[in-house]
Amino acid sequence: MEHSTLLDSLFNCPPCFLEDCPKPSRMNCLLVREPGICGCCYLCASDKGERCGLSQGRCVPSLRCKPAPNDPTPLQSLLLGRGVCM
């Protein structure tokens, strides 16, 4: 199965074949697309207290990815995947 989107053509993403993706790290989790513009594969969404951010992944829908309290560089933390699902 090949995955193709408008983003693929805009950002020159390589072809995506879901059968080549690794299996999720745990069973019975909510699957979300991997981080990044060309994200092809699915992985488990991060749960409360787990890392999140642009390069790390998404939180389950009931949570939001936020920088740690008192983080001196909150935007950078989110971009680098140092956020926390809260």
Instruction: Tell me the per-residue pLDDT of 10-68, one tens digit each, with 9 for 90 and over.
Output: 667 788 888 888 888 788 899 988 877 777 888 899 999 999 998 888 899 999 999 98
Which pLDDT score, from 0 to 100, does residue 63 have?
A: 96
Question: Model pTM?
Answer: 0.71
Asked if 55 and 36 count as a contact pair (C-beta separation under 8 A), the reply is yes
Domain, as residue range, for 26: 1-44
pLDDT class for 1, splitting at 50, 70, 90? very low
CATH of residue 64's domain is 4.10.40.20
53 shares a domain with 25: no
Alpha-carbon span 30 to 46, nearest angstrom: 9
Q: Give how many domains the chain has, as a whole number.
A: 2
Which pLDDT score, from 0 to 100, does residue 62 have?
A: 95
36 shares a domain with 13: yes
Paired tokens of 71: 């983080």
